[in-house]
Amino acid sequence: MARSSKYVVGVVDDDLRVLESMASLLEAAGYTTRLFISAAALLENDGLSQIDCLISDIGMPDMDGFALQRLTMAARPELPVIWITGRNGPTKRRLAGRKHAGVKVFLKPFDALELIDAVAAALRGQ
């Protein structure tokens, strides 16, 4: 699939308001976005092959972020992933202990500029 020179950031969240605000934020920073209302929607639409970075909520119904992480690592171990969550403590520690390219965890509400910086760093391979 041919792509423009713009990086494509995929966002998975079960909250439509979060998806819309993330799209506005990322597009204002110059990224193309692909939005998915669930992990299943990302996987069913071959979304992993169409993105350069993934931002995903952890606490989602049906397939949570941990299950998505396992599938992402199997399919695209080099894909940078940024997790967002409203849950502190065990959830954040559980993710921090896992190995994955470019993993970063943000607690909601998070600083928009810090998220944009994390996306840029992830895409640079840092």
Per-residue pLDDT tens over the stretch 7-32 = 999 999 999 999 999 999 999 999 99
Q: Is 67 left (phi over 0), alpha (psi -120 to 50) or beta?
A: alpha
Contact between 73 and 80 (Cβ < 8 Å): no
pLDDT at 111: 93
pLDDT at 98: 52
Q: Give the predicted TM-score (pTM) of the model.
A: 0.86
pLDDT, one tens digit per residue, over 72-114 is 989 999 999 998 988 766 555 555 555 444 568 888 888 999 9
Mean pLDDT taken over the chain: 85
Q: Quickly state the pLDDT bin for 2 (edges 50, 70, 90).
A: very low
Reading across the β-sheet that carries 32-36, which strands appear in turn? 32-36, 8-12, 53-57, 81-85, 104-107
All structural domains of the chain, each given as residue ranges with its CATH number in brackets, are 8-123 (3.40.50.2300)
For residue 126, pLDDT beyond 90? no
